[in-house]
Structure 1
Amino acid sequence: MFMGKNCWKSIPDCLANWRPQVASSETVVHAEQKESGCNGCLEENKLCQCIDDCEVGEKEVVEHDHATNANSSFGHSVINMVGMLIGLGQLSTPYALQNGGWASVFLLVGLGIVCAYSSHLLGRCLDKNPKLMNYSDIGHQAFGTKGRVLATSFIYLEIFMALVSYTISLHDNLTIAFFGLKLRSITNLGLSTSQSLTVVAVLVALPSLWLRDLSSISFLSSGGILMSFVIFTTVACTAVFRLGGVTANRGIPILRIDNVPAISGLYIFSFAGHIVFPDIYKGMKDPSEFTKVSIVSFSFVTMLYTALAFMGAKMFGAEINSQITLSMPLSLIVTKIALWATVLTPMTKYALEFAPFAMQLERNLPNHLKPRTKMIVRGGIGSLLLLVILVLALSIPYFEYVLSLTGSLVSVGICIIFPCAFYTKVFWSKISKPLLVLNVILILVGCLLGFFGTISSSKLLLRNLHRAHPSP
């Protein structure tokens, strides 16, 4: 349907070669490497131009790498972008629609359009300066060092908070998948069965953080894409064939305006993927088609989210869970498939999401250290961070509120505010007045959604934490 002629014949090959997240991991630190290896390129509001001073041999290597990597067809690029966008967000869209009312679907669709537009703006910034390699580079081009630091900080914060949400999802779905199981030997240590299962699952995924071969890490990404489509298919089958006696006839309120700030964060997070879009752009054979790729990808994902949201809300109504997989009848085989698909998805994400931290850490280690020592330091710190995330996820087991907070606090900046601000600054002397007004409006709307969404989701999260742990 949306695959190019090079992809429809061999879907497994396309998935096996899918590497946008890993590419992002490499290029997040690329800008840092440029600054550390050059002199005199820190002038405010100008991108480091030191590559022009590099030796001819180094320039040939860069050009060769770019020519080798820029081989993605239109269809392959669409697959990459769709695969990046579909994730945790699809689990929560039915819950968000039910709590916001069916009229909130206009917010969902509107955010999809806005995020597609902001993706186009990132592509325009990359068009102007071919030396821009990643999201942080665009921030540096627009606002200098401050822009780079702000963009990089938001990228790392989004990755960290998303991993906490992934681990909460892992915990919730494992609890249902192993319903009735008792692990007495572990619960004697003070952990519940569900917490013990989560600890075991995270420990199983822990060795993936020690991988240094990026091709091995990228192999995990294809599994995440497939799991997302498996989840959608199982929910659709349950609704269409009325499996387990489930009928899609529940009522959905028109609009719950007081819930809109909180659910806006869930909707925004569903379209989070902009940090990887520069890598998709750089990997295209014909970058001029990037805007078309964005339109096709966001249209497909928005339609999928809308269909899933209405199916879930009509199937379960007010009883809908924050994750659609937790509302499905436990006795159904499709439910078990959906649960395990949701469990496996986070386990494929840890190494991918940690790659930026790992490579930045390794670059900052002393050069005299042996490769084995660097691997031990990198893997050890990565393992420690994952254990911190595990503790946070078990201490704050409120998936919808953490995900909403992530969307409102971080993703809205990366997906809406920053792209509009970067583009406006970079093209200030050429931007038309209508486009300037549009960008300013979107920046203000993004700030309002982020502000009220952060307050709303924070209040809900603190309220539930207080109920779970009342003060004496």
Structure 2
Amino acid sequence: MSLPSQQQPVQIHKERRRSFMDYGGANSFNNFASSFSRAQQYSGSSLLEQVEDDGGANRSASFSKKDSFLHSGTSRGDLAISPLNEEAIVDDEEAPRRPRRGDGDRLEYFSFPQPDESRVGDGVDGVSDLDEFTPLVPTSSKQSSFKSHRLPTGNSTSPQTIFNSINTLVGIGLLSIPFGFRQSGWIMGVALLLGSALSTNLTAKYLGRILKHHPHLFTYGDVSFAYGGKFFSILVTLFFVLDLIGAALTLILLFTDCFAIIWPHTVELKVLIVTIVFFTSLLPLNILSFFSLLGILATMGIIIVVVICGFLIDKSPGSLLEFAPTAAWPTSAKNLFFSFGIFMMPWGGHPVFPELYRDMRHPQKFTHASNISFSVTFLLDFAIGATGYLMYGAQVNDSIIKSLMQNANYPSWVNKALCLIMGILPISKLPLVIRPIISSYENILQIAPHFSQKSSTSRGALRVIVRFIFCCVLLLIALMFTSFGKLMSFLGSAICYTVCLTLPLLFYLQLNKSRIGSVERVLIQVGIVVSISCALLGTCASITTKSTT
């Protein structure tokens, strides 16, 4: 009789801890953590993992435009849900299952890959065990079998979506905004930053409207195929490959530039960071998601340190108590064009917004969530940009971190804190940045876990070897680039204008044409022309500019 009473306090303690973690209902800590984890899986991966040819694998279902189906023609199977009859095509062992629609008419069932039954965990919906082999995004157009599962999306509340959106948008792009103000001056700089925020917020909502009226579309890749077919999807994928490689290079250069101030051996530093990337690329996804959380803290730490440094000294440069000389206008048209990409770079998270939309519990609140997310991100970007420019003026480097670390007037702890942050930031972000590329070439080479023609041991060893070769190639490319600012400007102009403005406007113009008025159509067409022009001017300026310091 004493045994139950002895166990009772432990049972009560567990229940209390569980209720604390679940306090707040839909916005509880557990649900926020789950929403954040899903957002990390979405980030930068959906399109790359969809445009993988299955080499003529058998298709279990067919799709036609007449029935409003979407199939990319490049993945291992087809979406087994019809938005018209709401019937799911499943395995022969299972009867057809009707998807259930919940709040906001959101789809709650779909089919997604189950490459290895032995790997499926015992968690809720069979997707709790995330490891190195887990696909980053179980998307609608990636099917290798047709077992019906509850859709692992459609659960995030509006606050959770806002948090994930801000986390997607706030990144290392803000570190070069002070340099953007140096190139453009106050008036044009504020206009460009505000204009980029307003325009990308609009195109994000355009993507949401496309998904609202096309329920069979789930990802940016789905939308691109619906617009232009397989060839166009592959073409868009090339932009994402360049974007991801460029993002990896910017992180490597940022790490190298900062630590070169205290240890001037850039080649050795690049070898060090790429070596770390190789080993972290072998880690399971749940650990990488934890690293991403560290990246958020590191980014906020940078903002805090920059503001604090402004009040540590009372003389320029590097002080907010005595402003450095600044300019209202750009010194040349070329400098202005160079700043185009820098002010567009912070908004490069558009490929994730379709999945964030599908992840919402109430999709009708997406517009509100997008407005808040872009507003908060704009305020953070403007705050760090204005602060850095006021502190250093025309002397500001292409990264505000370099300007802080090169200032000998600050206390010694500033460099130590920045070294700690700049050690965490690239290491926390690089593994997730390169993961979609690794996943793609492993599928192309047929060495991904779901290919079973080789033993698991030999396949694993081959993956390690190929990843080592990939990291070596990444290192060789990194050795060719030396300017953080030029790379940021190029990526912002050539990639972000295309992905964040031009393509979403084209998608909306075509896919929602029956809902667009004549005036709005003309404005969208003008926006496309302006976006392409800015992309071309900014790209040319970033290529022809010799130095950014």
Correspondence 1:147 to 2:182: no
Q: 1:296 aligns with which of 353, 359, 372?
A: 372
Change (3 A) 1:13 1:170: same
Q: Write the distance in 2 (CA, Å) between the matches of 1:168 and 1:11.
A: 36
Correspondence 1:237 to 2:272: no
Q: 2:463 aligns with which of 378, 382, 391?
A: 378
Contact persistence 1:217–1:352 (CA under 8 A): yes
The alpha carbon displacement at 1:133 in A equals 2.1
Change (3 A) 1:16 1:124: closer
Q: Write the distance in 1 (CA, Å) between the matches of 2:430 and 2:374.
A: 25
Correspondence 1:247 to 2:319: yes
Q: Write the distance in 2 (CA, Å) between the matches of 1:230 and 1:66.
A: 38
Q: 1:27 aligns with which of 46, 71, 74?
A: 46
Other-structure match for 1:414 = 499
Q: Write the distance in 2 (CA, Å) between the matches of 1:419 and 1:454.
A: 20
The alpha carbon displacement at 1:285 in A equals 1.2
Other-structure match for 2:144 = none
Alpha-carbon deviations, 1:84-132, whole Å to 9, x = none? 1111111100111122100121111110110111110111111122222
Other-structure match for 2:286 = 215
Q: Write the distance in 1 (CA, Å) between the matches of 2:288 and 2:58.
A: 27
Contact persistence 2:51–2:234 (CA under 8 A): no
- Code of the residue aligned with 1:55 in structure 2: it is V
Q: Which moved more, 1:77-86 or 1:30-39?
A: 30-39
Q: Write the distance in 2 (CA, Å) between the matches of 1:164 and 1:130.
A: 36
Q: Write the distance in 2 (CA, Å) between the matches of 1:219 and 1:164.
A: 22
Contact persistence 1:84–1:273 (CA under 8 A): yes
Q: Write the distance in 1 (CA, Å) between the matches of 2:399 and 2:48.
A: 34
Counterpart secondary structure, 1:101? helix
Q: Write the distance in 2 (CA, Å) between the matches of 1:281 and 1:426.
A: 17
Contact persistence 2:35–2:156 (CA under 8 A): no
- Code of the residue aligned with 1:431 in structure 2: it is I
Correspondence 1:54 to 2:73: no
Correspondence 1:351 to 2:431: yes
- Code of the residue aligned with 2:325 in structure 1: it is G
Q: Write the distance in 2 (CA, Å) between the matches of 1:380 and 1:41.
A: 39
Counterpart secondary structure, 2:253? helix
Alpha-carbon deviations, 1:403-443, whole Å to 9, x = none? 11111111110000000000111012221112212211111
Other-structure match for 2:521 = 436
Q: Which moved more, 1:250-259 or 1:97-106?
A: 250-259
Other-structure match for 2:453 = 368
Other-structure match for 1:198 = 270
Other-structure match for 2:388 = 312
Change (3 A) 1:15 1:90: farther
Q: Write the distance in 2 (CA, Å) between the matches of 1:61 and 1:419.
A: 25
Indicate the structure (1 or 2) with the bigger Cα radius of gyration. 2
Other-structure match for 1:186 = none
Other-structure match for 1:187 = none
Contact persistence 2:110–2:151 (CA under 8 A): no
Change (3 A) 1:237 1:342: same
Other-structure match for 1:268 = 344
> % of aligned pairs identical?
23
Q: Write the distance in 2 (CA, Å) between the matches of 1:298 and 1:393.
A: 31
Counterpart secondary structure, 1:436? helix
Other-structure match for 2:221 = 136
The alpha carbon displacement at 1:193 in A equals 2.1
Q: Write the distance in 2 (CA, Å) between the matches of 1:324 and 1:226.
A: 18
Other-structure match for 1:402 = 487
Other-structure match for 1:189 = none
Contact persistence 2:338–2:538 (CA under 8 A): yes
Contact persistence 1:361–1:378 (CA under 8 A): no
Q: Which moved more, 1:250-259 or 1:21-30?
A: 21-30
Correspondence 1:228 to 2:299: yes
The alpha carbon displacement at 1:24 in A equals 4.0
Counterpart secondary structure, 2:513? coil
Q: Which moved more, 1:233-242 or 1:406-415?
A: 233-242
The alpha carbon displacement at 1:295 in A equals 0.8
Alpha-carbon deviations, 1:275-296, whole Å to 9, x = none? 1112212222112211211111
Q: Write the distance in 2 (CA, Å) between the matches of 1:116 and 1:293.
A: 10
Contact persistence 1:16–1:222 (CA under 8 A): no
Contact persistence 1:21–1:276 (CA under 8 A): no
Q: Write the distance in 2 (CA, Å) between the matches of 1:75 and 1:66.
A: 23
Correspondence 1:117 to 2:192: no
Q: Write the distance in 1 (CA, Å) between the matches of 2:287 and 2:463.
A: 17
Q: Write the distance in 2 (CA, Å) between the matches of 1:8 and 1:41.
A: 38
Contact persistence 1:135–1:151 (CA under 8 A): no
Correspondence 1:14 to 2:88: no
The alpha carbon displacement at 1:40 in A equals 4.7
The alpha carbon displacement at 1:341 in A equals 1.4
Contact persistence 1:262–1:404 (CA under 8 A): yes
The alpha carbon displacement at 1:317 in A equals 1.1
Between the two proteins, the alignment pairs up a number of residues equal to 446
Q: Which moved more, 1:260-269 or 1:236-245?
A: 236-245
Structure 2: unaligned runs, 5 residues or longer? 1-22, 72-77, 82-87, 98-108, 113-124, 126-148
